Amino acid sequence: MPFLKQSTFYLILFFLPSLVKAQNDTLPFSISEKRRISEQKLESKREGWYLTGLPKIGYDPIQGFGFGAEGEIFNNGKREDPFFAYTPYRSKISFSASYTQFGKVSAGLGLDMPYFLDTKWRLRASFSFSDNPNKIYFSPGEASMQALEYTDRVTGERVTNAQFNDYRRALSVVRGPNPWEGEVPGVLYTDRNFNYNRYTKYALDVILERTYLDGDLRVVFAGGIVNLSYNPYDFDVESRALDRDGNRIEAVNGITQITRDFQQAERGNPDSFWLQNNIVGYDGGFSVKLKGGLIYDTRDFEPNPAKGTLLEYSMGYTAPWLGSDFNYSRHQVQWMQFGQVFGFMPNKNILAGRLMFSTIGGQSVFFREVFDIWSASQGRIGVLGGEDTMRGFKKFRFGGMAMGMGNIELRSQISSFSSWNQDFEIDLVPFFDFGRVWDGLNSIRLSGFKYNPGLGARVIWNQSTVIRLDYARSVEDSQFFLVFGQLF
């Protein structure tokens, strides 16, 4: 591939002048003093390499009990390193692996190296694998903002504003004798997996960013490769169906939501959301994406900010000339703000807020990307719902051609201590999430948002590792999460 070889050659020539080793006694370039770590944190900051990690044990009504491990390996460098006072770490390796009761297997590996080789460049990379038999799919678009509802197959009663677990249990009950279009008469059907799909994912991202304006401005260049395969549950035998008395029996899965959406588009139905928005990828696909971003960042300490602002524009583009099966682009803007409040109180209280808006479109849009965005500062974010966005709703519950959301957290320190040569801080975090999707830019209106309150805790371990525990409750669900890293 002559084009690829030439591109690689010119990239090496472009980056080579920046990869010059700096002197150890002074900063090789100017860095804003707002980025200098406080004297209190510097005093307790560890030198060299160290490991933080936890066993991963949890429960989710969709995935069942989960087991695994998640951790981070840091290198802070030496105290005499001129960057020691200006960055939370010199390098970080993150890793995770887990298995759940109902068959989900996932693993990930990440690398982050600020001021790579003592230059203004930062190198980040991540690889992830997931094999998930319980991937949620709801039809995208503004119609998904409607409350969950179902018809009780025993009483015939119509239930509105339903809870998610009640909704799925109702769909698990076998249907009456009348099959849907495309199904065979005389077969006992269940819709237990109506909103579920099986998928396997391999994803690789490589990100380079360069700082300007004493570190306040960052320009991001990135590339991503994703290979996904989907396998719907249509006509598979389901052993967890329910009869009308609530007993578990064996039945056949009916036609799933994703298959119905795909078939509508294939038939040229003018009401098809997939057809109207050029959505494809029913079986999965291969995507090579170019990404970029512009970030204005004045946060004082990236893993756990106490003050500052982040303004971000991110974009992603893929097309057949890159080797991709798809052709679309996504644009996103984001604003984060951090500041200390309640200064009269003896403890530290940080008010943190985030607003995000994203839109996607093109000649052939991968349906998965309607529910999955990329941020230049945060990486992949599954929307809308789950541990990354609206924590009171199932992940991927809402998706659309345009999406807006926000999060507000009050991070209130309640304790700090040292034990076994490790430093810890405990924060109590009440929070509020809100968001919605639209069918496009022309349909945007500032009403009809979904929202959820919640309460969480943060364990700050050796300054740079944040263990997040969140419980959120919405009109249709309640969820608990135990994950690494602040939400934002």
Statement: residue 186 has pLDDT above 70: yes
β-sheet bridge partners, residue 112: 92, 124
* ω into 487 cis (within 30 of 0): no
Convert the pLDDT of each residue in 366-399 to its tens digit: 999 999 899 999 988 988 999 999 999 999 999 9
Inter-residue contact 338 to 306 (CB < 8 Å): yes
- Cα torsion 142, 145, 149, 150 to 10°: value is 40
DSSP string, 54-82: EEEEEEETTTEEEEEEEEEEEE---TTST
Would you kindly state where each structural domain of the chain is located, as residue ranges?
2-484
Mean pLDDT across 36-47: 87
CA neighbor of 107 nearest in space, from 128, 90, 78: 128
Say what the pLDDT of residue 3 is: 42
CA neighbor of 332 nearest in space, from 272, 389, 278: 389
Inter-residue contact 424 to 416 (CB < 8 Å): yes
The H or E element containing residue 275 is helix 273-276
Say what the pLDDT of residue 10 is: 41
Convert the pLDDT of each residue in 13-36 to its tens digit: 444 444 433 333 488 999 988 889
Angle at 333 between CA 331 and CA 334, to 5 degrees: 145
Q: Residue 191 burial (CB < 10 Å; 0-12/13-18/19+)?
A: buried
Q: How far is CA 313 from the centre of its chain?
A: 17
Convert the pLDDT of each residue in 258-306 to its tens digit: 999 999 999 999 999 999 999 999 999 999 999 999 999 999 999 999 9
Convert the pLDDT of each residue in 420-446 to its tens digit: 888 899 999 999 999 999 999 999 999
- 3-state class (DSSP) for residue 277: coil
Tokens, residue 158: 């119509």
Convert the pLDDT of each residue in 133-182 to its tens digit: 999 999 999 989 999 999 999 899 999 999 999 999 999 999 988 898 88
Say what the pLDDT of residue 43 is: 86
What average pLDDT is seen over the chain? 91
- pLDDT band at 217, cuts 50/70/90? very high
Tokens, residue 374: 């990329």
Say what the pLDDT of residue 21 is: 38
Q: For residue 307, which phi and psi values (nearest 5 degrees)? A: -160, 160
Convert the pLDDT of each residue in 300-322 to its tens digit: 999 999 999 999 999 999 999 99
- 3-state class (DSSP) for residue 213: helix
Inter-residue contact 308 to 215 (CB < 8 Å): no
- pLDDT band at 60, cuts 50/70/90? low
- Cα torsion 160, 274, 324, 200 to 10°: value is 30
Distance (Å, whole) CA 208 – CA 218:
10
pTM reported for the whole predicted model: 0.85
Domain at 2-484: CATH code? 2.40.160.50
Of 35 and 362, the structure prediction assigns the larger pLDDT to 362
Q: In the 8-state DSSP scheme, what is residue 34?
A: G
Statement: residue 5 has pLDDT above 80: no
Distance (Å, whole) CA 26 – CA 118:
11
The rounded percent of the chain whose pLDDT value lies above 70 is 94
- pLDDT band at 61, cuts 50/70/90? low
Inter-residue contact 216 to 32 (CB < 8 Å): yes
Inter-residue contact 442 to 130 (CB < 8 Å): no
- 3-state class (DSSP) for residue 24: coil
Range from 8-17, 51-60, 187-196 carrying the lowest mean pLDDT = 8-17
Statement: residue 414 has pLDDT above 60: yes
Statement: residue 12 has pLDDT above 80: no
Inter-residue contact 142 to 437 (CB < 8 Å): yes
**CA of 413: how far to CAs of 175, 340, 454, 457, 469, in Å?**
53, 11, 17, 10, 14
> β-pairing, 150-151 with 158-159?
antiparallel
Distance (Å, whole) CA 147 – CA 48:
52
